[in-house]
Amino acid sequence: MTLDRVVWSMLQEALGVYRDSPRATAWLRSHAERYTEPVRIAVAGRSRIGKSTVVNALVGDEFTPQNSFVWYRGGTEQRAHVFNGPGRPHEVGIGRRGSRNHVETGQFDRSDRIVVDWPARTLRDVVLIDTPSEATPEQVLGDADALLYLMRHVQDEDLKFLQSANDHPIARTAAVHTVAVLARADEIGAGRIDALSSAKQIARRYRRDPAVQPLCQNVVSVAGLLAVAAKTLREDEFAALRVLSSLGREELEDHLLSADRFAGEQFPLTMEPAVRQALLERFGIFGVRLITALIRQGFDSQVKLTGQLVQRSGLGELRDSIAVHFVERREVLKARSALLALDVLFRMEPRQNARKLMADLERVVASAHDFRELRLVAALQSGRTKLPAELQTEALRLVGAEGVAPLARLGFEYEADARELREALLDALVRWQALAADVHATHAHRKAAQIVVRTCEGLLPQFS
Partner 1 sequence: MAPPWLDVLDETIGACVTHRRPDLEARLREKRAQQLDPKLRVLVVGESKQGKSQLVNALLNAPVCAVGDDITTTVPTFVQHADTPSAALVRNSSVGGSIFHTPTERIAVPIDQVTKQAAAQHVVRAEIGIPRALLDSGLVLIDTPGVGDTRSAHTASTFAALMQADAVLLVSDATGELTSAEMTLLKKVMEACPNVTVVVTKIDLVPSWRHVVERNRALLARAGIRAKLIPVSSALRLRAAKTGDQRLNAESGFPELVTCVQSDIVASAELLARRAVAVVASSAITQLVTPLREELTAHDSSRTVATISTLQEAQRRVDELRRRSARWQNVLNDEMADLISDVEYDLRDRTRKILREVDKTYDEADPAIGWDKFEQWLEDNLNEAATTNFAWLMERAEWVAAKVARNFPVYREDLIPGSVLPDDLLEPASKLEKPKIEPFSVPQKLFTGLRGSYGGVLMFGLVTSLAGMPLINVISLGAGALFGGKSILDESDQRLKRRQAAAKAAAQRHVDDFFMKFSKDVRDSGRHIQRSLRNHFSTLAEELQETLLESARSAKRAVQDDQTERERRMREGRKELDKLVLLYKRVQALGGPAMELTA
Which residues contact partner 1 by CB under 8 A?
46-48, 152-157, 159, 184, 187-191, 195, 198-199, 201-202, 205, 209, 211-212, 257-261, 263, 277, 280-281, 284-286
> Least distance in Å: CB of 223 to partner 1?
12
- State whether the Cα torsion 118-223-130-317 is positive or negative: positive
Q: What is the DSSP string of 397-451?
A: HHTTTT-SSHHHHHT-SS---HHHHHHHHHHHHHHHHHHHT-TTS-HHHHHHHHH
> Least distance in Å: CB of 198 to partner 1?
4
> Least distance in Å: CB of 65 to partner 1?
14
Give the Cα separation of 443 and 447 in Å (integer). Answer: 6
- Looking at the Cβ atoms of 143 and 187, the one nearer to partner 1 is 187
- Looking at the Cβ atoms of 1 and 274, the one nearer to partner 1 is 274
Q: Which positions ≥6 away from 193 have C-beta within 8 Å? A: 289, 290, 293
- Looking at the Cβ atoms of 71 and 149, the one nearer to partner 1 is 149
> Least distance in Å: CB of 188 to partner 1?
5
Q: CB of 61 within 8 A of CB of 118?
A: yes
Which stretch of DSSP H or E encloses residue 69?
Answer: strand 69-74
- Looking at the Cβ atoms of 49 and 395, the one nearer to partner 1 is 49
CA distances in angstroms from 335 to 5, 20, 145, 300, 313, listed in the order given: 9, 24, 9, 47, 33
- Looking at the Cβ atoms of 109 and 260, the one nearer to partner 1 is 260
- Looking at the Cβ atoms of 120 and 203, the one nearer to partner 1 is 203
DSSP state of 89: P
447, with CB counted inside 10 A (0-12, 13-18, 19+), is middle
> Least distance in Å: CB of 189 to partner 1?
5
- Looking at the Cβ atoms of 250 and 390, the one nearer to partner 1 is 250
- Looking at the Cβ atoms of 285 and 339, the one nearer to partner 1 is 285
Q: CB of 191 within 8 A of CB of 285?
A: yes
Which stretch of DSSP H or E encloses residue 71?
Answer: strand 69-74
Q: What is the DSSP string of 7-19?
A: HHHHHHHHHHHTT
> Least distance in Å: CB of 184 to partner 1?
7
- Looking at the Cβ atoms of 154 and 452, the one nearer to partner 1 is 154
> Least distance in Å: CB of 289 to partner 1?
10
Output phi, psi for 114, to 5 deg. Answer: -115, 130
Rg (CA), the chain: 25
- Looking at the Cβ atoms of 259 and 416, the one nearer to partner 1 is 259
DSSP state of 322: I
- State whether the Cα torsion 23-28-30-31 is positive or negative: positive
> Least distance in Å: CB of 53 to partner 1?
12
Identify which of 174, 168, 144, 157 has the alpha carbon closest to the alpha carbon of residue 55.
Answer: 144
> Least distance in Å: CB of 191 to partner 1?
5
Give the Cα separation of 422 and 428 in Å (integer). Answer: 10
> Least distance in Å: CB of 262 to partner 1?
8
